[in-house]
Structure 1
Amino acid sequence: MSVTMEQAEDTARIIVVGNEKGGSGKSTTAMHMIAALLNNGYRVAALDLDARQATLSHYLANRKNFTERKGVHLPMPAFDAILPSTNADRVAAKAEDEARVAEAVNRLTAQNDFLVIDTPGSDSFLGRIGHSYADVLITPLNDSFVDLDILAAVNPETYEVARPGQYAQIVFESKMIRAKRVGMNRTFDWIVMRNRLGQLDSKNQQAMEKAVTALARRIGFRTAPGFSERVIFRELFLDGLTLLDLRKAKTGVRMSMSHVAARQEVRNLLQIIGLPVAES
């Protein structure tokens, strides 16, 4: 199941960006999903469940400040952020977290076409709740066996998958929670995007390709090429911009070949996921 324009007309679609390992590019991915949908005229909401780290929250605040400082119009999503409950009683804290996420999801989906949820880069109850609301789960993964370890244990000699990892188990449990809420015949589309791919076809890259392909068949996800390691992604964060905003934002930045290549990476990802891409 991929997100399509026709599906979005019937009911709000929820895109969750999640990975238990930090530094994988979750917030950058989430922001580009948000910008792509906004630029296509959709009503979009964003929910930050990683409000302690608050990268997505800061990204959107930077975007608002940029529009006010430069006097340009850039579309903004409806936005909410949720911090974990401070209740000392663990059971009560979980109940509070679950109720607040449910309220935010119901409110934001009632008023918008898409909801994009950014989740913490560690195992947390808020993160697990967020995963259980996904129609599409996008997992950014650095192209490294260090990062792959959370998805699966890999045989060091054959690069074959020995067993699923801890995050794969979390995704499976989230699917079960979602099935209980909305029905056993409904699951979510899981896409693993390989970030920071090397420019050259290395032995490590070939081994990762083999391992990820085997794991995709075993535990049921699709793969997509992600974003290369480029300075432009870090630079745009300070102004709350994405590669899809540069012309509208009138930044005066000249599009280099690196910028063009990076924007094409974003477009390729959006097309694989099934999201519309506006000209920019």
Structure 2
Amino acid sequence: MDGRGAHVIVVGNEKGGSGKSTTAFHLATALLYKGFRVATMDVDSRQQTFTGYVKNRRRWAAANAVELPNTLHFHLPRTRGDSIRENQKHEFEVFGAAIAEVEDTVDFVVIDTPGFDTNLARLAHSMADTLVTPINDSLVDLDVIAHFDPATGEAREISHYARLVQRARSERLAVDGHTVDWVLVRNRISMLASRNTRTVQGVLDKISLKLGCRVADGIAERVIFRSLFPYGLTVFDPLDESILGGMPPMSHISARQEYRLLIDALNLPMRRLSQGREKRLPDPANDGRLAQIA
């Protein structure tokens, strides 16, 4: 979609608990505060954590008469008919309709995917301009990308998810000549340097060369993210004692800076989208509605 419409950011990883939804929601909110128009899509029909964030945010803002920037949000459920072919056809049509509705009226589309392989997840990956894969800073979690030799750190075999991404990149290249910028994000980083941290970094550096992707530092493990979820808030929102039960801790400021650095590392086309904004239709991002496409 580069040069033609919205820039699509997909947050994907086939391992649960990697922080995909938190990352996706913070990226979307940060872009709103930068003045961009943002649509969000949740294709995780089982957990719906991303949709939960959006609902919590709008519910809390309405109850407290607070104005907060919101995305135009879609939840795309899986089709559960008897025919796999018909299910996939319907999901393709639904996904295409959602993208078509927003691609010329917003600047960014942020899509959260499930921690397992589905047709909707594959469709999302094939549409990505930027693919963000959060990986917990642990050797155990690296197998979502590749199986590696623990002694040498060399990748012995790439994983199912890595093969899925490679297929999506090939399909994208064949369709419009553009590739997917794949960024592995070290997430839930320990704030204490350790042998494990150094080993993870070394393995990721080797894997990234093999897979043609990049590695970026993500976000440290912080309690504040769990505290903010019930309100649908992020570290970019104004926070006070009534929300947190006390003054914002220093970790709030540190987390906000980490996300800013992550956004910088993604190399998003902010200048191009800012220059083309005046050609867009009126902003739908703050209309306060929760779109549901069935």
Out of 81, 97, 102, the residue aligned to residue 87 of structure 1 is 81
User: Per-residue CA shift, 1:51-72, capped at 9, x if unaligned?
Assistant: 3211010100000011111111
State how far apart, in whole Å, the 2-side matches of 1:249 and 1:127 are. 39
SS at match of 1:58: helix
Corresponding residue of 1:255: 248
User: Per-residue CA shift, 1:59-118, capped at 9, x if unaligned?
Assistant: 000000111111111011111111111111111111111111111111121221111011
Is the 2:240–2:247 Cα contact (8 Å) retained in structure 1? Answer: no
Please, what TM-score do these two structures have when normalized by structure 1? 0.90
Out of 134, 138, 144, the residue aligned to residue 132 of structure 2 is 138
Amino acid at match of 1:43: R
Say whether residues 1:268 and 2:261 are aligned partners.
Answer: yes
Amino acid at match of 1:274: N
State how far apart, in whole Å, the 2-side matches of 1:249 and 1:255 are. 7
Corresponding residue of 1:153: 147
* Percent of aligned pairs sharing the same letter: 39
Corresponding residue of 1:202: 194
Corresponding residue of 1:112: 106
Q: CA deviation at 1:255?
A: 2.6
Single out whichever of 77-86 and 252-261 deviates more from structure 2: 252-261
Amino acid at match of 2:237: D
Corresponding residue of 1:35: 29
SS at match of 1:192: strand
Which runs of 5 or more residues in structure 2 are unaligned? 271-294
Q: CA RMSD in A?
A: 1.9
SS at match of 1:111: coil
Out of 167, 170, 185, the residue aligned to residue 164 of structure 2 is 170
Corresponding residue of 1:18: 12
Is the 1:73–1:249 Cα contact (8 Å) retained in structure 2? Answer: no
Is the 2:184–2:215 Cα contact (8 Å) retained in structure 1? Answer: yes
Change over 3 Å in CA distance of 1:109–1:248 after alignment to 2: farther
Is the 1:20–1:121 Cα contact (8 Å) retained in structure 2? Answer: yes
Is the 1:74–1:248 Cα contact (8 Å) retained in structure 2? Answer: no
Q: CA deviation at 1:274?
A: 2.8
Amino acid at match of 1:230: R
Is the 2:241–2:247 Cα contact (8 Å) retained in structure 1? Answer: no
Please, what TM-score do these two structures have when normalized by structure 2? 0.86
Corresponding residue of 2:282: none
Q: Number of residue pairs matched?
A: 268
Say whether residues 1:242 and 2:234 are aligned partners.
Answer: yes
Q: Stretches of 4+ moved more than 3 A in 1?
A: 247-253
Which runs of 5 or more residues in structure 1 are unaligned? none
Amino acid at match of 1:266: Y
